Amino acid sequence: MPADPPSGPSAGPPRVNPHVLREGAGVLAVAIRAEPRVFAVSVLGSALYAATTVGTAAVLGRVTEQVVLPAFREGRTTAGALTGAAAAILGVAFLKALGVAGRRFYAGLMQYRMQAAYRRAVTRQYLRLPLAWHHRHPTGQLLSNANADVEAAWAPLAPLPMAVGVVFMLVIAALSILLTDVTVALVGFLVFPAIALLNVAYQRRLAPVATRAQQLRAEVSEVAHESFEGGLVVKTLGREQAETERFAAAADALRDANIAVGRIRGLFDPILEALPNLGVLAVLLIGSMRLQSGAMDAGDLVHVAYLFTLLAWPIRALGWVLAEVPRSVVGWRRVRGVLDAGGSLPFGDAELPAEGAAGLEVRAVRFGYEDGRHVLHDVSFATGPGRTVAVVGPTGAGKSTLTNLLVRLVDPADGSVLLDGVDARDVRRGGVAATAALVPQQTFLFDDTVRGNVTLGLDLPDERVWEALRLAQAEGFVAALPTGLDTRVGERGTTLSGGQRQRLALARALVRRPRLLIMDDATSAVDPQIEARILAGLRESGAGATVLVVAYRKATIALADEVVYLEHGRVAARGTHAELLERSAGYRNLVNAYEEAEALDGGGLDDVLDTGEEALR
């Protein structure tokens, strides 16, 4: 698996900040600022729960002192005393339940809102970032950023209001205990420094391990995604075992990292549980001695002991937040790595005409990838509205890169692409997509109906869909499908042939009635006769589009008004097909090699193509 570059959102393993708690507090502050009202209501619910929990101790102390002990001493009690005791206990219990319901509902609401907001933000950023950025980051990694990392970043939000309420509870409980008996309180409070030291040690041990586990989740996603995407390659080349072992290695590493996290938590949780209980035992021991000496009464001892019993659960709630903080920080760093990524395409406010074929001009364009490879050098050509241009060139000449520039998936390093005389960089957001449509080499169909794959969610009448299918020479086979437009085509269109998938992809572009149609070898799997009918139909239908087609078939090229011949990323020749056959030896050798290759079966095709491209060199 190729490693991410250092600038990526998940370059790593990520650096562990020694002040994880401080960084985690900053992450939580982001959520609180984003959802202040929801957080306030959830904290009020938690505070109500905390107050009534402490109130329960006071009520139990009073009931013990005024109802239970007199009943034992006198051997009887009154209905009024029992009714009053029951009413007090039930009243406190009702308020406690109300606090729990408010806390849980609004804490969950806050967590899910933040997760939804940041999933949308990450997805919008993916759409804004240029294609070159996506080329540097595996798809599995990006899926992990938008899913697992967002979930991890906001995982502490569910227990956070409880933890805030716990602080309130601890303050009330501590004051109540101090007011009841200072000596017993000081003995019991010795447990808090021990818990604080335990949490510091826990954070230091857990943070790097949680960081590693979070990164490995992304790596497992990467391997899984590649395995699914490359399923055909894996099966046809008999690499199932090797791929299984590759995935198993990544999964085993994640398992070991999660086990390491579990070991640390398994060591931390029992000690955290034990320390408050040890405090309760100490309180009962000292309290019973003071009870015997007459320094405190039984009701006060029940009150204090019950409060210390309650402290174990609040401290555990604090531990839940602290346990999620390292993962939250790691997830937040990775999410911020995406949101802070630079290189998004700038937009202007220029408007392009809504109708009529588009004029296209490529002016002194130069483009290179970030690895230092220069693909296009000073490429220039222009075509008028409604004309058809064929771009021809050997493998690696820069044809596909040029098509990406024309629809502004990337911007040139130098020069400009002009649509109707307007630099594409000055067009408003969405303006280029509304004007130009690209039908790429690699056809992608969704696991949806034919209609869904053609319209992609646009509310278009069936007549317009059938018109696009007719122009793409797909009307016949779609009509023959079991339910026509409503037939599901399977994942990536597996129920269709390669040529059928290409024609649906072309119909998807045509249904939008683009003013500039760009076909990047988009009919390579289609019979030459059908391809010729498609191009002829586009010219004769009055579809109102300028067409640029990356082609290699001589019959297709001959239909173009002009041919742009690329060689080594430069425009080596321009003119009609007949003119270039006469004056450009490289062009003549290439198209003749393509024609000879097409006439051969399978095995000789690559040899002939290699011969043609060798002639160019």
pLDDT digits (tens, 9 = 90+) for 137-164: 777 778 778 887 888 888 888 888 877 7
User: Rg of the chain's alpha carbons, rounded to an integer?
Assistant: 35
| All residues at 6 or more sequence positions from 50 whose CB lies less than 8 Å from its CB, including other chains | 99, 165, 166, 168, 169, 172, 314
Instruction: Please give the pLDDT value at position 188.
Output: 65
For 343-383, the pLDDT digits (tens) are 667 788 888 888 888 889 889 889 887 666 778 888 899 98
Topology given in CATH for the domain delimited by 360-583: Rossmann fold (3.40.50)
Please write down the long-range contacts of 63-70, taking CB distance under 8 Å and 24 or more positions apart.
63/88, 63/89, 64/298, 64/299, 64/302, 65/297, 65/298, 65/299, 69/298, 69/299
Band (3; pLDDT cuts 50, 70, 90): very low
pTM of the model as a whole: 0.62
Residue 522 · residue 502 · CB < 8 Å: yes
Band (547; pLDDT cuts 50, 70, 90): confident
State the average pLDDT over residues 598-604. Answer: 50
Helix (H) or strand (E) holding 377: strand 374-383
- Of 10, 30, 17, the closest CA to residue 143 belongs to 10
Query: Can you tell me the distance from the alpha carbon of 614 to that of 586, in angstroms, rounded to the nearest whole number?
Result: 10
Provide the CATH number for the domain formed by 20-339 in this structure: 1.20.1560.10
DSSP class of 350: B
For 211-242, the pLDDT digits (tens) are 777 678 777 877 777 777 677 677 766 777 87
Helix locations, 75-136, DSSP H: 79-128, 131-135
Handedness of CA 489, 495, 499, 502 (dihedral sign): positive
Please write down the long-range contacts of 565-568, taking CB distance under 8 Å and 24 or more positions apart.
565/392, 565/393, 566/379, 566/391, 566/392, 566/393, 566/397, 566/398, 566/399, 566/402, 567/393, 567/394, 567/397, 567/616, 568/377, 568/397
DSSP class of 15: P
